[in-house]
Chains A and B, each alone.
Chain A
């Protein structure tokens, strides 16, 4: 199945794209999508302990399942205000 991955701030800079389309296996979770991405872009690895995840524009735990067509997002530590 296929998901859209959105990346922000430094994560976007590292990947060189704000949005990616990626094939993921059945039973994939936010965590498995992240780890596949970190293999592709090794500089992402150091964010593994500090990212937050979202599925379809809602915060989600990293063990949340993703489904075909979902929009998943990975968020580095925030700095609004």
Chain B
């Protein structure tokens, strides 16, 4: 259900992984490379992951989501390597009998990916490149987890 891939992500394939006859809703989140960041023109991003730990993190995020939304199915696919402007770096699909839980799960999942998944992006912009460093990854930090839940349920 979860994957790290060096090849372009296929949104329809991720949706198909979670689709069930019992589900009336599939919500998707597609994260793409934006052409600007902090007033710089972004040329492309390059992603790197600690793959086995990243997959375990995705499984953990799925288990966390089920604690709150027991009926959801979740798939998280993340790119590594070069991702050009406009191309997907992450695809999340959440399926549920009803739409509210599907939307909430997809939002929760992307927030948690950004908090704890061992994945890094290097931004190549006009005139240079640098690693982006975001959240300090502490999977057991309940404050971060509650913040992700609050965003999902906002």
Q: Are A76 and B133 interface neighbours, CB within 8 A? A: yes
Q: Are B119 and A80 interface neighbours, CB within 8 A? A: yes
Residues of A close to B140: CB separation below 8 A: 59
Q: Are B52 and A77 interface neighbours, CB within 8 A? A: no
Report Cα–Cα, A52/B121, bound state, in Å. Answer: 17
Q: Which of B66-90 contact A (CB under 8 A)?
A: 78, 89-90
* Residue A65 CB within 8 A of the other chain: no
Q: Which of A28-45 contact B (CB under 8 A)?
A: none
Report Cα–Cα, A3/B7, bound state, in Å. Answer: 32
Q: Are A77 and B118 interface neighbours, CB within 8 A? A: no
Residues of A close to B118: CB separation below 8 A: 8, 52, 54, 73, 75, 78, 80
Which residue from chain A places its CB closest to the CB of B79 in the assembled complex? Answer: A80
Q: Are A77 and B136 interface neighbours, CB within 8 A? A: yes
Inter-chain residue pair count (beta carbon < 8 A): 88
* Residue B47 CB within 8 A of the other chain: yes
* Residue A20 CB within 8 A of the other chain: no
Report Cα–Cα, A30/B152, bound state, in Å. Answer: 34
Residues of A close to B115: CB separation below 8 A: 78
Residues of B close to A77: CB separation below 8 A: 133-137
Report the count of interface residues on B (CB-CB < 8 A): 33
Q: Which of B106-127 contact A (CB under 8 A)?
A: 110, 113-122
Identify which of A6, A9, A80 contacts B122 (C-beta below 8 A). A9
Q: How far is the CB of B32 from chain A (nearest CB, A)?
A: 10
Report Cα–Cα, A20/B138, bound state, in Å. Answer: 24
Q: How far is the CB of B77 from chain A (nearest CB, A)?
A: 12
* Residue B132 CB within 8 A of the other chain: yes
* Residue B40 CB within 8 A of the other chain: no
Which residue from chain A places its CB closest to the CB of B52 in the assembled complex? Answer: A57
**B129-153, CB under 8 A of A: which get 1 and which 0?**
0011111111110000000000000
Q: Are A80 and B78 interface neighbours, CB within 8 A? A: yes
* Residue B11 CB within 8 A of the other chain: no
User: Which A residues contact B (CB, under 8 angstroms)?
Assistant: 6, 8-10, 13, 50-52, 54, 57-59, 73, 75-81
User: Which B residues contact A (CB, under 8 angstroms)?
Assistant: 31, 47-50, 52-54, 56, 78, 89-90, 110, 113-122, 131-140
